[in-house]
Structure 1
């Protein structure tokens, strides 16, 4: 597994994990780290602390690059997000590890690049398996929950560890206290919360027409959501005013789709405002770390699913009262894998050794990495393999299967009027200049872009002798990363199926065993790395972290799950 990323030129010592106080410990002291982690799980969060840990509200819109007023977009109407930026810090160079939801969200939730643990394909369930991380790897919200946080998720999960709706929803039941709530109000009094709120109104599918004829199954199933989206519109954007990236032709169909996107953005901003207002109503704004971001870049053709900036550059705004400087702007590189370590340290918890991200904010902030990395693998039914590395100024993209078109058939994407129009123009031979580049029948094996002069990445400099040194540097860095990260996406997917689901069957987690002592019940599972949940007398499910104090006559129900495996059967334990 790759070491945690750090500043360029200082990679020799960046793999060491953090103590609870934020200082580095070497890998040879891993037993000490394990003891610190265990104490963090067993002791109350505020034990010995001068201040309680902050609440954390992570607001994640779907399928959206930095099309916000705070980022200088002249069309976007985003007063609530803009206000958040004025009260916090705005990051100019934040990127996800993939240009599509499931791999990107898998990396975010674990703090580990998706291909390090087999979660790179879109979606793994369509490949006949689920990603199964190593036994010691846990989603960071489960670590927060184990330490006393109330964890709530609203909307999509999509971590590559569920079979529900092809993996877009569901997942290990031990991660969340509540997966159906719209806020944090179900927690105990004074209990800190971590709320992960996904806002789907900007999703690619919300740009489809209300109705097509004849309607297909996909259009019919998603019609209610599109109708709801239109109902949320506050105003309508004039298509004549929208800026057109150079990789699109300037025509009415393209403009109308972009105008619809800006309508959805305005409605999404209102939803952000409602969440922030709830914090104010509950008197929690001054004690809550708020993050606004997205799960990847634009949900548009040549954006979504691609490792160009149009697919991986995201807005990132953080307000942490008493920590962030109001109205500040940060130019450092931030990766999706950085969320996990940053939020764990904000909560006062140690960062597990396997986490590849770095702490980008707060008292324990770590040095900026020299590079961030992204990947593209199978998209729906179509095999692909693309890797990229980016520094502050240059983006290097390597196509490992260059003898195929850039545009592969994606049924979901092809519902978008803009995509239909692009294909029509291509087939008519009417695409020229930058819009035609994406429709070539074969790919450039390597691409190098100077993002300062070419922010839309339409001028490939890989063959320019003036940039030969930069190309060589970026090549070496990507080679280093592919080896250091243990990229499982370089294997054929059949090998992953055999590795994670031997014999083509999902492994089943061993049911919990129990040991009783006076007033306590201990639980364990024979499945390495299994998380255990339990409930007492039919109450809510809780995460098992140690022996359970119970009274006589209580009934405990327990079950276990290893990530990527099926849940165990429930076990009932009746106490005399």
Structure 2
């Protein structure tokens, strides 16, 4: 069916045979940090309810672990090297925006007759390449921080409710709700007792860390409340039954070895998809990636899927016609501003993860350890550094954070936190070589020639790494 005929059929029937689409995008939400994915501390009742009627993916991955590049993969179905947005916040360099001529989700769905809108956080560019209807007043300042500089932005679900109330029968829509939570700055008055906070094995249980993790969980619950209000609006206006609802996150949380990293804590994401009467509730371990979301949505919307995408639709997985999807997911991280300049590439299968650090001569830094004016980790990082002066375990963790070997290989089934690097073990040599060849071949196909920082203004970090190895 041609696009024009598809639009005509929608209009003539009064009620579209294609679904409304809502994509709810949490910001920096880790895979393990909600009720549906096994977290026993944080309260997420609305996600729990959504999951009870949805297909839950346990092997969904962001292709890149920073905000703007990750959102670009979702919106284009292309890996960062091909869509152009492969680094985050590198001012003065055209590396955070998609290239001219790249097709995007709002443009493609509008051509198919959809009304397409975005509420909340943007972090995509250039804006002319993303012809969303921007929902007015959906991005606001945090209550109490209206005049405070910094990352105190918030989602207004009232604006989302108002927009949904205006939808007309027979006009399909796609709404992207881009929440600001649980991105830092996290609420400064946490609701979770510090004694209840769980400590992952790649962290140190100082009081400052427990406090920050409690603040993060408080923000996760805030995001869950926002989600509940959006789901409530769909029910209130009689839209829920004919809506394909997709919940996911752009990448993992802002903790060490998570965001800005290719470890699972940085790239493994929650993915819940609900379509009443069409997608059966349950769980799948099919391996899928953010680049697969665009062709999946377009196919379900009856829209034209551009040729040559990196993404592959997983419609048959959704409809229960297939159990598996991908054999591997490719991962990439180039740079985030001038704080994080250590690029890395990776490949993830059901069993193994291979990471190639392209500039191991540089010490690794992020806003967590490097930004003392940034309320996103400095408090507990300072406590870790102080502890490392007298505690060997803390010292080893700090060293591992800053100094990455060129090759990392992990058995993610036996070692989900990726603590035991197998790259130097002889019995894993064949697996390492196989994954390394696949990654090299993929990079060549992508014309990904990056071997170091896009912009290197931290020469002391190079000497620091060399001196401490």
TM-score by length of 1: 0.68
The question of 1:239 aligning with 2:194 is answered: yes
Asked if structure 2 preserves the Cα contact closer than 8 Å seen for 1:307 and 1:375, the reply is yes
The question of 1:374 aligning with 2:331 is answered: yes
The question of 1:458 aligning with 2:419 is answered: yes
SS in 2 for 1:141: helix
TM-fit CA distance, 1:396: 0.7
- Show the counterpart of 1:336: 290
Asked if structure 1 preserves the Cα contact closer than 8 Å seen for 2:72 and 2:83, the reply is no
- Distance in structure 1 (CA, Å) of the matches to 2:62 and 2:313: 15
Asked if structure 2 preserves the Cα contact closer than 8 Å seen for 1:124 and 1:130, the reply is yes
The question of 1:157 aligning with 2:122 is answered: yes
SS in 2 for 1:194: strand
Q: Which runs of 5+ in 1 are unaligned?
A: 1-19, 21-35, 163-170, 211-229, 495-576
- Distance in structure 2 (CA, Å) of the matches to 1:192 and 1:94: 27
Distance 1:492-1:451 versus aligned 2 partners, 3 A rule:
closer
Distance 1:132-1:451 versus aligned 2 partners, 3 A rule:
closer
- Show the counterpart of 1:205: 185
TM-fit CA distance, 1:368: 1.0
- Distance in structure 1 (CA, Å) of the matches to 2:237 and 2:215: 34
TM-fit CA distance, 1:201: 2.5
- Show the counterpart of 2:147: none
Which of 356, 365, 378 in structure 2 is aligned with 1:419?
Answer: 378
SS in 1 for 2:285: strand
TM-fit CA distance, 1:42: 6.5
TM-fit CA distance, 1:450: 0.8
Matches within 5 A, 1:212-231: none
Asked if structure 1 preserves the Cα contact closer than 8 Å seen for 2:342 and 2:452, the reply is no
Distance 1:47-1:387 versus aligned 2 partners, 3 A rule:
farther
- Distance in structure 2 (CA, Å) of the matches to 1:65 and 1:396: 20
Give the number of the structure whose alpha-carbon radius of gyration is greater: 1
The question of 1:433 aligning with 2:413 is answered: no
TM-fit CA distance, 1:325: 1.2
- Show the counterpart of 2:172: 192
- Distance in structure 2 (CA, Å) of the matches to 1:365 and 1:179: 37
- Distance in structure 1 (CA, Å) of the matches to 2:302 and 2:255: 39
Asked if structure 1 preserves the Cα contact closer than 8 Å seen for 2:208 and 2:383, the reply is no
- Distance in structure 2 (CA, Å) of the matches to 1:90 and 1:261: 23
- Distance in structure 1 (CA, Å) of the matches to 2:239 and 2:293: 22
- Show the counterpart of 1:289: 244
Matches within 5 A, 1:261-410: 261-326=216-281, 328-361=282-315, 362=318, 368-381=325-338, 382-408=340-366
Q: Tell me whether 314-323 or 295-304 shows the greater mean CA deviation.
A: 295-304
- Show the counterpart of 1:484: 445
SS in 2 for 1:53: coil
SS in 2 for 1:439: helix
SS in 1 for 2:392: coil
TM-score by length of 2: 0.83
Aligned residue pairs total: 423
- Show the counterpart of 2:209: 254
Asked if structure 2 preserves the Cα contact closer than 8 Å seen for 1:292 and 1:316, the reply is yes
- Distance in structure 1 (CA, Å) of the matches to 2:170 and 2:408: 52
- Distance in structure 2 (CA, Å) of the matches to 1:294 and 1:274: 18
Distance 1:264-1:423 versus aligned 2 partners, 3 A rule:
same
Distance 1:190-1:354 versus aligned 2 partners, 3 A rule:
same
- Show the counterpart of 2:38: 72
Could you say what the CA RMSD is over the residues aligned between the two structures, in angstroms? 2.7
Asked if structure 1 preserves the Cα contact closer than 8 Å seen for 2:15 and 2:170, the reply is no
TM-fit CA distance, 1:132: 4.4
Which of 78, 90, 112 in structure 2 is aligned with 1:112?
Answer: 78
- Distance in structure 1 (CA, Å) of the matches to 2:321 and 2:118: 26
Matches within 5 A, 1:47-66: 52-66=17-31
The question of 1:172 aligning with 2:172 is answered: no
Matches within 5 A, 1:441-452: 442-452=403-413
